[in-house]
Amino acid sequence: MRVIVFCKEYLLASAIESLLTGEGDLISLNFTKNKSDLNNNILNFNPNVIITDDESIPDVKFEFAELLRAQIGLKILVVNKEQNLINLFVCQKIPITRSGDLLQAIYS
């Protein structure tokens, strides 16, 4: 599984990295903080999952909408840490009650 994490907030990106690093089924993680790097990484890395947060999504919402149409099976997870939710596109909300919920959303 190829996962790109696009978060402007270092603490959140580090927490996600810590959670995912121990997962044996994850082939590769790719972290990026700016929009141009994200676009290049998506083209070169061909992710199965992109994880971002509410603060980063305004910069890339149009790109993500196009990706969802173009890449069948791509999952985009938007973490809302204030409401303890993950928005799983297409239009699903998953409550976060434990750290394993993020992993469950990736594999569902």
Tens-digit pLDDT profile for residues 30-63: 777 777 778 788 888 888 888 988 888 777 777 7
Q: Which two tokens stand for residue 94?
A: 């998953």
Give the residue from 103, 106, 77 showing the smallest Cα distance to 89.
77
Sequence-ordered alpha helix ranges (H) in 22-76: 35-45, 57-70
Q: Structural domains in the chain?
A: 2-107 (3.40.50.2300)
pLDDT band at 91 (very low <50, low <70, confident <90, very high): very low
